[in-house]
Amino acid sequence: MSADSTRTAFRTCPLCEATCGLEITVGPGEQIVRIRGDRDDVFSHGFICPKGSTLKQLHEDPDRLRRPLVKRDGVHVEVSWEEAWRAVHEGLTGVIARHGREALAAYVGNPNAHNLGASTHNSVWLKALGSRNRFSASTVDQVPKHVAGGLMFGTAQSIPVPDLDRTDYLLMLGANPHASNGSLCTAPDFPGRLGAIRARGGRIVVVDPRRTRTAEESDEWVAIRPGTDGLFLAAILNVLYAEDLVSVESRIAVILNGLVDLGRSVARFTPESVADATDVAAPTIRRIARELAAAPTAAVYGRIGVNAVEFGSLNAWLIDAINVVTGNIDSPGGAMFTLPATGSSTTRGTPGKGKGFSTGRGHSRVSKRPEVLGEYPTAVMAEEITTPGVGRIRGLVTVAGNPVVSTQNATRLDEALADLEFMVSVDIYLNETTRHADVVLPAPSALEKDHFDVALYTYAVRNIANYSPPVLQRDSGQPDEWEILATLAAILQGAGPDADPVAVDDVMIQTMVGSSVATPGSPVFGRDVDEILVALSRDGRRGSVRVLDLLLQTGPYGAAFGANPGGLSVDELILNPHGIDLGALEPRLPEALRTPSGRIELAPPALVADLDRLAAFAETVDPDQMLLVGRRDLKSNNSWMHNLRVLMKGSLACTAHLHPDDAARLGIIDGGYARITSRVGSVDIAVEVTDAVRPGVVSVPHGWGHGARGTRMSVAVEKPGVNSNILTDEAVVDPLSGNGVLSAIPVSVEAVHIAG
């Protein structure tokens, strides 16, 4: 290979929230030669996990869709883009003509959060849909954090992140960053940052029903009973108040509502009163509370294991309440607010005050679940499709989502999707969900797209900006992801099958610029719209990168189209391929607040009221009830990376983890099979007997159960596993957020004998 035909490209990995920098060697014929960690990346400094380098295999995967598919006589066949758009037009306008727009629905999945095209252009087709039936992976994930942050600090994006690099004490609940690399705490090499806490003499306590790698590498593992973290957290607060350990610096005290109310509301949750339900001894709870209070700096952090449970919002609130009353909110080493380069709802509007956060603008048709963040819970998707009546969902658009594997009561949703009149999916695989689609529109591979993690830099442990141009050119005819979404929007707006995505994009950017120049406090307030549009559109720039440029230029560090020389713009980021480090997090209160009171609401009434439900729940905890929890594996990514042989070879497997005491009692041997049954379903699965789970718990990873008829993932079917969401119950949600309950599911476990 001659040197001049080889080049090096830099690209942020889009696979998880850690945003690692990749160094990609491209050889002759535009072949990917090698992908490794970018040692010069300002944030990840060369760190990479086993998934990062698989962008090559993902790009080359023969099963990855490269041409649109249309279903004919039940079989997907390749068609031209023109033909596919005609089918989309006919399908969507048909549903609208027959049933009205409320019969349309949308589901957007997790990879949208790591996709620039989706970040900039999902809003336009979702709006054009003209239906309130919007669903997303957020309600099987993090919505409780938005609700709690919103009620306490004023916006859905007001989520503090633990200041990992400076904290002296980290109490971590329901998170396993050694497998997940962290979530709503963007921190490349999260494990390394945890190691550094201990190396500098700090302490890490992990609360998890499983002895995870994260727990093993910490100072203390608290093997809590699943689903009971709210009681544990309320008891920590109880101790802080009862022992007079509450300490809030004056800067925060003057902008704090509810300090007394919070104390009163947790008075009933003494450590002794919650010890049985949580299975955490009262002295342990007291000691952890005292340690939190005594540590020079401390942060409490909780993730999916305490969000995707019946008390998800309550848990998220109690965690940040502890951060507030121990004097650690908005303070280095505590829990802090990122100041994102693209801005967020915490940077727009009037600093320090706002409309606040609310939910319940509308309710779902069948179960009357309240709207949250403009969406209804995934829990109601199937019933909205299958229940007759006005407003019944008859048409569905999915973008980068696999709800048949990833959401509750998978069997029911699978059947419901088969019942739709029309479905279109934008995806890269023909999988358990997209097999139901009448039309599948292939998105470009990650290496063919540009990137900036708009969503996750909003919750990063440092302020970072990093833009990656596409590494490879798209195949001829393949539209960019934003073009697909803009075309969808145009068709939904009634522009017909030959709709022009550029027209939609032009209107969108004009509207955005118009709003920026009209907003007092905006860095371009009062400026000429055309001057800014010309600057944004130079060299024919369109689509996502143009929107990103506007967000950056008008953001907190922005160049503001010349008004702030040296400030951020896309061009500035192109000159800095390893990213720009905008520094460690800095205190942002009261400026970041958007509550109507202009204060931190420590005791929001809706959350305080939910404590009654928690207290009632404590009475019902049955120590003999087997509970199902999930788990993640470093080499797997939700439901969609099982088609890559590099990741599948070796130990990665879909098995149930069962404690030796339970295994003995149930007569199940290591390598044997168990039947796990919940209210909604039953699965048979191979068992690993291990004391890495506490007694009374069975752990099954999610994202498996491949091989359904009509899917096209030839590697994944070799080791299909079982779909753990056959067991999760859509009838139970966290009432405040609508978030699904994916953990602490009551199940029965019995031995089964599987022949062969």
Ligand X SMILES: Nc1nc2c(c(=O)[nH]1)N[C@H]1C(S)=C(S)[C@@H](COP(=O)(O)OP(=O)(O)OC[C@H]3O[C@@H](n4cnc5c(=O)[nH]c(N)nc54)[C@H](O)[C@@H]3O)O[C@H]1N2
The option from Mo ion, ligand SF4, ligand X, none interacting with 20 (CB < 5 to 8 A, set by class) reads ligand SF4
- Is the Cβ of residue 331 or residue 433 nearer to ligand X in the bound state? 433
User: Helix, strand, or coil here: 431?
Assistant: coil
- Is the Cβ of residue 16 or residue 381 nearer to ligand SF4 in the bound state? 16
Question: Residue 743 CB, nearest distance to ligand X (Å)?
Answer: 4
- Subset of 33-72 contacting ligand SF4 (CB under 6 A): 48-49, 51-52
The answer to whether the CB of 513 falls within 8 A of the CB of 529 is yes
- Is the Cβ of residue 188 or residue 740 nearer to ligand SF4 in the bound state? 188
The option from ligand X, ligand SF4, Mo ion, none interacting with 601 (CB < 5 to 8 A, set by class) reads none
Cα separation, 410 vs 423, whole angstroms: 17
- Is the Cβ of residue 307 or residue 516 nearer to ligand X in the bound state? 307
The option from ligand SF4, ligand X, Mo ion, none interacting with 160 (CB < 5 to 8 A, set by class) reads none
Give residue number: closest CB to ligand SF4.
Answer: 52
The option from ligand SF4, Mo ion, ligand X, none interacting with 180 (CB < 5 to 8 A, set by class) reads ligand X
Nearest CA to 11 out of 114, 89, 104 is that of 114
- Is the Cβ of residue 47 or residue 311 nearer to ligand SF4 in the bound state? 47
- Give the tokens for residue 89: 């037009």
> Under the criterion CB under 6 A, does residue 706 sit at the interface with ligand SF4?
no
Enumerate binding residues for ligand X (CB under 6 A): 16-17, 109-111, 115, 137, 140-141, 173-177, 179-181, 183, 207-210, 212, 224, 226-227, 229, 303-306, 309, 399-403, 406, 426-429, 431, 443, 446, 629-634, 636-640, 702-703, 724-725, 728, 742-744
Report how far Cα 731 is from the mean position of its chain's Cα atoms.
Answer: 22
620 CB neighbour count, 10 Å cutoff: 8
> Under the criterion CB under 6 A, does residue 468 sit at the interface with ligand SF4?
no
Enumerate binding residues for Mo ion (CB under 5 A): 141
Question: Residue 556 CB, nearest distance to ligand X (Å)?
Answer: 26
Question: Residue 88 CB, nearest distance to ligand SF4 (Å)?
Answer: 32
The option from ligand X, Mo ion, ligand SF4, none interacting with 208 (CB < 5 to 8 A, set by class) reads ligand X
The answer to whether the CB of 512 falls within 8 A of the CB of 547 is yes
Question: Residue 678 CB, nearest distance to ligand SF4 (Å)?
Answer: 31
The option from Mo ion, ligand SF4, ligand X, none interacting with 68 (CB < 5 to 8 A, set by class) reads none
- Is the Cβ of residue 20 or residue 113 nearer to ligand SF4 in the bound state? 20
Q: Give the phi and the psi of residue 681 in degrees, each rounded to 5.
A: -170, 180
**What H or E segment, with its residue span, contains residue 299?**
strand 299-302
- Is the Cβ of residue 141 or residue 432 nearer to Mo ion in the bound state? 141
Nearest CA to 190 out of 459, 442, 449, 416 is that of 459
Cα separation, 399 vs 122, whole angstroms: 9
Among 13, 124, 207, 237, binds ligand SF4 (CB under 6 A): 13
- Give the tokens for residue 424: 């279109």
Question: Residue 710 CB, nearest distance to ligand X (Å)?
Answer: 14
Nearest CA to 222 out of 141, 142, 266, 282 is that of 282
294 CB neighbour count, 10 Å cutoff: 12
The option from ligand X, ligand SF4, Mo ion, none interacting with 13 (CB < 5 to 8 A, set by class) reads ligand SF4
The option from ligand X, ligand SF4, Mo ion, none interacting with 173 (CB < 5 to 8 A, set by class) reads ligand X
Among 15, 237, 275, 405, binds ligand SF4 (CB under 6 A): 15
Residue 477 class from Cβ within 10 Å (0-12 exposed, 13-18 middle, 19+ buried)? Answer: exposed
Specify the residue for token string 């950017």.
509
Using CB under 6 A, count the residues that bind ligand SF4: 12
The option from ligand SF4, ligand X, Mo ion, none interacting with 470 (CB < 5 to 8 A, set by class) reads none
The answer to whether the CB of 430 falls within 8 A of the CB of 711 is yes
The option from ligand SF4, Mo ion, ligand X, none interacting with 224 (CB < 5 to 8 A, set by class) reads ligand X
Nearest CA to 47 out of 186, 170, 172 is that of 186
Strands annotated E in 191-265: 203-207, 220-222, 256-257
Question: Residue 15 CB, nearest distance to ligand SF4 (Å)?
Answer: 4
Q: 3-state secondary structure string, 55-114?
A: HHHHHHCCCCCCCCEEEECCEEEECCHHHHHHHHHHHHHHHHHHHCHHHEEEEECHHHHH
- Is the Cβ of residue 137 or residue 318 nearer to ligand SF4 in the bound state? 137
- Is the Cβ of residue 61 or residue 141 nearer to Mo ion in the bound state? 141
Cα separation, 164 vs 124, whole angstroms: 36
> Under the criterion CB under 6 A, does residue 156 sit at the interface with ligand SF4?
no
Q: How far is CA 696 from each of CA 225, 263, 279, 442, 584, rounded to the nearest angstrom?
A: 8, 33, 11, 44, 42
Question: Residue 52 CB, nearest distance to ligand SF4 (Å)?
Answer: 3
Among 9, 10, 11, 19, binds ligand SF4 (CB under 6 A): 19
Give residue number: closest CB to Mo ion.
Answer: 141
- Is the Cβ of residue 197 or residue 593 nearer to ligand X in the bound state? 197
- Is the Cβ of residue 107 or residue 457 nearer to ligand SF4 in the bound state? 457
Nearest CA to 456 out of 4, 8, 20 is that of 20
CA-atom Rg of the chain in angstroms: 25
The option from Mo ion, ligand SF4, ligand X, none interacting with 128 (CB < 5 to 8 A, set by class) reads none
Cα separation, 55 vs 734, whole angstroms: 36
The option from ligand SF4, Mo ion, ligand X, none interacting with 659 (CB < 5 to 8 A, set by class) reads none
**DSSP 8-state secondary structure symbol assigned to residue 399:** E
> Under the criterion CB under 6 A, does residue 16 sit at the interface with ligand SF4?
yes
- Subset of 180-239 contacting ligand SF4 (CB under 6 A): 181, 188
Question: Residue 121 CB, nearest distance to ligand X (Å)?
Answer: 12
- Give the tokens for residue 276: 């049985």
502 CB neighbour count, 10 Å cutoff: 13
The answer to whether the CB of 354 falls within 8 A of the CB of 319 is no
The answer to whether the CB of 136 falls within 8 A of the CB of 105 is no
The option from ligand X, ligand SF4, Mo ion, none interacting with 19 (CB < 5 to 8 A, set by class) reads ligand SF4
The option from ligand SF4, Mo ion, ligand X, none interacting with 749 (CB < 5 to 8 A, set by class) reads none
The answer to whether the CB of 104 falls within 8 A of the CB of 135 is no
- Is the Cβ of residue 403 or residue 558 nearer to Mo ion in the bound state? 403
Cα separation, 729 vs 431, whole angstroms: 22
The option from Mo ion, ligand X, ligand SF4, none interacting with 52 (CB < 5 to 8 A, set by class) reads ligand SF4
Q: Give the phi and the psi of residue 242 in degrees, each rounded to 5.
A: -65, -35
- Is the Cβ of residue 18 or residue 295 nearer to ligand SF4 in the bound state? 18
> Under the criterion CB under 6 A, does residue 20 sit at the interface with ligand SF4?
yes
- Is the Cβ of residue 608 or residue 654 nearer to ligand X in the bound state? 654
The answer to whether the CB of 463 falls within 8 A of the CB of 124 is no
Q: Regarding beta strands 21-27 and 7-12, do their DSSP bridges make them parallel or antiparallel, or are they unpaired?
A: antiparallel
Cα separation, 159 vs 313, whole angstroms: 12
- Name the residues that contact ligand SF4, by CB under 6 A: 13, 15-16, 18-20, 48-49, 51-52, 181, 188
